[in-house]
Amino acid sequence: MTSLFRTIARAAYYCVGPILLLALALIAFSPWTGLPVIWPALLLWLTFLINWTRLPKGPRKQASILLLTGLAGMGWGLSQTPPGQIPDIPWHQALTANTGLLGMLMAVSFLSLIASAPGSATDKLPTGRSALKQTLFGIHIFGAVINLSIVFIMGDRFASQSDSKNTGKLIQDAQMKVLSRGFCSAALWSPFFAAVAVALTYAPGASLLQLMQAGIPLALIALVVTYIELRPHADQFTGYPMQLKNLALPGFLAAAVLGCHWYLPEYSVMQVISVLSPLTAIIVMLLKKEAVHKKLLEHSHDRLARMGSEMALFLCAGTMAAGLSTLFHLYGDRLPIPELTPVVVSLLLLAMLVLSLVGVHPVISIATVSGILVPTNPPMDLLAMVFLASWAIGTTCSPLSGMNLSLRGRYLISSNHVLWGNLHYGVLMWIAASISLWIYNPIKTLSH
């Protein structure tokens, strides 16, 4: 009997990739098909159940807490409903809250099928200040589009030429800072980043253009701060060979997203990206005369099927937000929610960053803050900017963030190196982000 269950479990897991591929298609084309979002959402929850026993201990524990918190909140709301009255419980929100966001994450993953890394394995690694600037700028731009894969492409190349016997680490401290800061700062503005999708989801009504207007200068500050810090020892820095021709894909995709968003404002950014990313990948593969059908299936069984931890976290965070929303509607008038003045916004950002340092994923703190503040109708652009800043800075500085855990395990970096190497950067960026939030929303902030 046990072997039968194992066989069934293996067969079910083999179906995860195709199920997610179908869910993505339903999400991407929902504006034209009119199919209710509950159907792809149920497919995502089905993969969540199939993957549950395969999840690592950490994500499974976090997902359990989020799910139980949300169910408890909605259960309490149900118990407080007077007899004979229809309960006002957001079950639909609990099931579908992050469906569009997860669809976008799946769609963006297809860009890895066509995005070639800058440079090649035979190019000599450059050194010096020029190499520092090129590598920092390169990982920021490429990371903004093809996401985490560029970090490991560059990191593996650094590790292949490292002197680990003398240092004990596979990459230099300066290289670690360039990889983490250059990549994570793209979360301040890139529509291809999960951070932006989360901000737009949990601050409904926020404008992508407003977020980019505030986020790009902050990202530039992050890159400049990093360059100034590392410049005195740039002669010992080994960088990555960059090629101008490789900027074509990131440039095209960024322009296409903004153009579609301007020309078709009725469609959300996440919907545009969910269609544009896989469609671009398919067209490029067809032009290269590659086996598109085979590659799509391989990608679904490989990359999509390995998104179990992300699926669990985002699905359960949506459930938690629904539970918190239920409690707010019951007791919101009794909560001492402060006015979003500049000082309060700065302290709110600081609190979210501290939570990141102790291992709380940004989406958890974002969903919590959203569940409490959104019903009070705050300025959504301001709220979304806080969310982006907390994500970009927190994931850089926390040794327990997903990206830094990957860097630590892959390149033998200690948690102390991550924390103390980036803590001063985090303080500077918190100050810069606080000033930016005051500048971009001073009137709205003071009037609410």
Task: Dump the DSSP string for 384-438.
Answer: HHHHHHHHHHHHHH-TTSHHHHHHHHHHT--HHHHHHHHHHHHHHHHHHHHHHHH
Residue 444 confidence class, pLDDT cut points 50, 70, 90: very low
Residue 188 confidence class, pLDDT cut points 50, 70, 90: very high
How large is the average pLDDT for residues 412-441?
Answer: 89
Nearby residues of 121 by Cβ (< 8 Å), 6 or more positions away? 157
- Residue where the block lists tokens 């549950």: 52
How large is the average pLDDT for residues 188-203?
Answer: 89
Output 57 or 347, whichever has higher pLDDT. 347
Tell me, what's the pLDDT at 448? Answer: 42
Output 377 or 124, whichever has higher pLDDT. 377
**Is the four-CA dihedral 431, 432, 435, 441 of positive or negative sign?**
negative
Tell me, what's the pLDDT at 232? Answer: 92
Tell me, what's the pLDDT at 247? Answer: 66
Tell me, what's the pLDDT at 442? Answer: 45
Count of other CB atoms within 10 angstroms of residue 245: 8
Residue 6 confidence class, pLDDT cut points 50, 70, 90: low
Whether the predicted pLDDT of 1 surpasses 60: no
Count of other CB atoms within 10 angstroms of residue 268: 18
SS3 state at 46? helix
Tell me, what's the pLDDT at 76? Answer: 92
Tell me, what's the pLDDT at 123? Answer: 60
Tell me, what's the pLDDT at 3? Answer: 64
Torsion angle defined by CA atoms of residues 26, 32, 38 and 39, in that order, rounded to the nearest 10 degrees: -40
Output 424 or 162, whichever has higher pLDDT. 424
Rounded to two decimals, the pTM is: 0.75
H helix and E strand count, the chain: 23, 0
